[in-house]
Structure 1
């Protein structure tokens, strides 16, 4: 009987400046079978994306008053790293009030973990199969 190969735990960059919400997001990501990579700010997020070439999904809060606007960071990620999938969330924005980067998905807070996890699996399935 052959040994099974370990499953690939895709890294997901979690960008959230509120500690309680960040811990909740990290827990959600890890329970879904992904590796959570945490960023405390937009500057952290950019630094981690530069260092971790294996990151293919970013889960990010748009409401980050202590750093660059989340939507600006999402647009910068889309321009600089086009293959990376982006899931955005916010309490103070709606899907219609913000112009999302191409292929970015938006979910209002409070987030529904099932919806977010389903989106993560779907988007990472696209990465794994090479489809867009």
Structure 2
């Protein structure tokens, strides 16, 4: 699902579970964001390499494929440092010292208000 509006930031939702991806996508779209979906890290990288105007990557940690969500976060920080990253997981919060990344974390299941707060914090950090 992709919506287009030049005035709203674009968020790339990366989640391998279709229903969880749909819930996140609808939540963000209803909040007025442009949303692009990807089912894994490899697809997300293709979207980013295509030059989409993504401002935030919202990714699950555990996904099938050669690259998980933390690997995707590292890649985004290295290749596109202006793009914010928010990581989500239904398990414990990944230890930051192991990641070495400044991204924000949202535990699943997340409340819409919690996700919106993290999105606002991520956009504010990018603007600073």
Shared topology, TM-score over 0.5? Answer: yes
Q: Which ranges of structure 2 fall in alignment gaps of 5 or more residues? A: none
Q: Which residue of 2 aligns with 1:44?
A: 43
Instruction: Count how many residue pairs are aligned between Structure 1 and Structure 2.
Output: 124
> Are 2:104 and 2:122, in contact at CA under 8 Å, matched by a contact in 1?
no
Where 1:99 maps in the other structure, the secondary structure is: helix
CA contact (8 A) 2:61 2:69 kept: yes
Moved beyond 4 Å, runs of 4+: none
Per-residue deviation, 1:65: 2.8
Indicate the residue corresponding to 1:15 in structure 2.
Answer: 14
Return closer, same or farther for 1:62/1:91 CA change in 2, 3 Å cut-off. Answer: same
Asked if residue 77 in structure 1 is aligned to residue 76 in structure 2, the reply is yes
Q: Distance in 2 between matches of 1:101 and 1:13?
A: 22
- Change beyond 3 A, Cα 1:124–1:19: same
Q: Quote the offset at 1:50 in angstroms.
A: 1.0
Which runs of 5 or more structure 1 residues have no equivalent in the other structure? 1-5
Task: Find the aligned partners of 2:73 and 2:44 in 1 and give their Cα distance.
Answer: 10
After TM superposition, list the pairs within 5 Å mapping 1:1-132 onto structure 2: 8-96=7-95, 99-127=98-126, 130-131=127-128
Question: Who wins on radius of gyration, i.e. which is larger?
Answer: 1
Bigger CA drift: 44-53 or 65-74? 65-74
- For residues 74 and 67 of structure 1, the distance between their equivalents in structure 2, rounded to whole angstroms, comes to 14
Cα gap change, 1:27/1:81 in structure 2, threshold over 3 Å: closer, same or farther?
same
Alpha carbons 1:63, 1:92 under 8 Å: kept: no
Q: Deviations over 1:89-128 (max 9, x none)?
A: 011342438734532001111112211112212322444x
- Note the C-alpha offset of 1:66: 4.2
CA RMSD after TM alignment:
2.1
* Closer/same/farther in 2, CA of residues 45 and 94 from structure 1, 3 Å limit: same
